[in-house]
């Protein structure tokens, strides 16, 4: 029997087969999990449906997390279809790409509020609406980045949103622990995805990580999927409120590697 056999969970935030959410979905499905997916808007529906089918899922639901009723509706539908849930993956972030270059100090009030709403508050909303469906031992997972802890060029308001998201993980873990539900974040190294392509100089950032991370490479979707499997399965039954770095060790490095080539 596989690790996730009999476990049912929702993956939110797949845009295409480069998405971190998709890396997680593939790994979970290959270990026996039953999956449902959400998508944002009809264009992405056409991308997500065939991916869902390829891992045996036909439960594909619309959800713009900026709309509270849509979040509520998703979990009403899942209750009808499945009754209960074992895990939820939140792989969602948004900021105006015009403000993912240049300086943080120039962030507009409008984009600050939108970025924090979609990239941080939505996880709290998702946890609140799904917690009543979760089986004991259930696990929530969100995706974050090292720009929450240290200043990264161009990451700007997303760094602030991810810092708030990581703090939310700790507060949600404290709130939901009494129900034997766990809440964790996976801090992924840079990966070329649709969302990441909006960040200024992203190719440079990828090279920098490759040359300076202790493992001297960039992470893959499989790296992300395997660590998510750990956080979503009983293998991590005593772990909650944690931010796990899956970045080839980049976060432990204090200065540029002496032998790193110029970029």
Q: How many CB atoms lie within 10 A of CB 27?
A: 21
Binding site feature residues for NAD(+): 13, 40, 64-65, 92, 162, 191-195
Q: For 65, phi and psi rounded to 5 degrees?
A: -70, -5
> Pattern of binders to ligand NAD over 48-67, x per CB under 6 A?
---------------xxxx-
Number of H helices, E strands in the chain: 8, 7
Residues 126 and 27: their CA atoms lie apart, in Å, by: 22
Measure CA 19 to chain center: 9
Residues 83-142 that bind ligand NAD (CB under 6 A): 91-94, 118
Least distance in angstroms from the C-beta of 28 to ligand NAD = 15
**178-203 per-residue burial string, b: 16 or more CB within 10 A, e: under 16:** eeebbbbbbbbbbbebebbebbeebe
Catalytic residue positions, numbered: 145, 155
| Nearer CB in complex with ligand NAD: 2/201 | 201
Q: Is 190 in the site for ligand NAD (CB under 6 A)?
A: yes
Q: Is 196 in the site for ligand NAD (CB under 6 A)?
A: yes
Measure CA 158 to chain center: 13
DSSP state of 114: H
Q: Is 232 in the site for ligand NAD (CB under 6 A)?
A: no
Q: Positive or negative, the Cα torsion across 28, 240, 206, 214?
A: negative
In the set 27, 40, 130, 156, which binds ligand NAD (CB under 6 A)? 40
Tokens of 118: 């979609």
Which span sits near ligand NAD by CB under 6 A: 77-85, 102-110, 188-196, 228-236?
A: 188-196
Binding site feature residues: 13, 40, 64-65, 92, 162, 191-195
Q: Which residues bind ligand NAD (CB under 6 A)?
A: 13-15, 19-21, 40, 44, 63-66, 91-94, 118, 143-145, 188, 190-191, 193-196
């Amino acid at each position: 029997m596989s690790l996730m056999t009999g476990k049912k969970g929702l993956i939110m935030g797949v845009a295409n087969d480069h998405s971190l959410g998709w890396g997680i979905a593939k790994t979970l499905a290959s270990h026996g999990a039953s999956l449902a997916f959400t998508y944002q808007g009809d264009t992405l529906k056409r991308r997500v449906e065939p991916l869902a089918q390829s891992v045996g899922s036909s439960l594909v639901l619309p959800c713009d997390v900026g709309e509270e009723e849509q979040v509520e509706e998703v979990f009403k539908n899942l209750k009808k279809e499945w009754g209960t849930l074992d895990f939820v993956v939140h792989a969602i972030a948004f900021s105006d790409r015009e403000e993912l270059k240049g300086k943080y100090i120039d962030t507009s009030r409008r984009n600050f509020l939108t970025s924090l709403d979609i990239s941080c508050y939505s996880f709290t909303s998702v946890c609140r609406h799904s917690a009543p469906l979760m089986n004991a031992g259930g696990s929530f997972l969100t995706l974050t980045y090292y720009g929450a802890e240290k200043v990264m060029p161009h990451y700007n308001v997303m760094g602030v949103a991810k810092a708030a998201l990581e703090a939310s993980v700790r507060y949600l873990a404290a709130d939901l622990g009494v129900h034997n539900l766990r809440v964790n974040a996976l801090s992924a190294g840079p990966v070329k995805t649709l969302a990441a392509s909006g960040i200024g100089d992203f190719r440079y950032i990828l090279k920098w990580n490759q040359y300076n991370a202790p493992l001297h490479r960039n992470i893959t979707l499989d790296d992300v999927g395997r660590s998510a499997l750990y956080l979503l399965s009983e293998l991590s039954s005593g772990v909650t409120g944690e931010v796990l770095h899956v970045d080839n060790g980049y976060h432990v490095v204090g200065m540029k590697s002496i032998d790193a080539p110029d970029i």
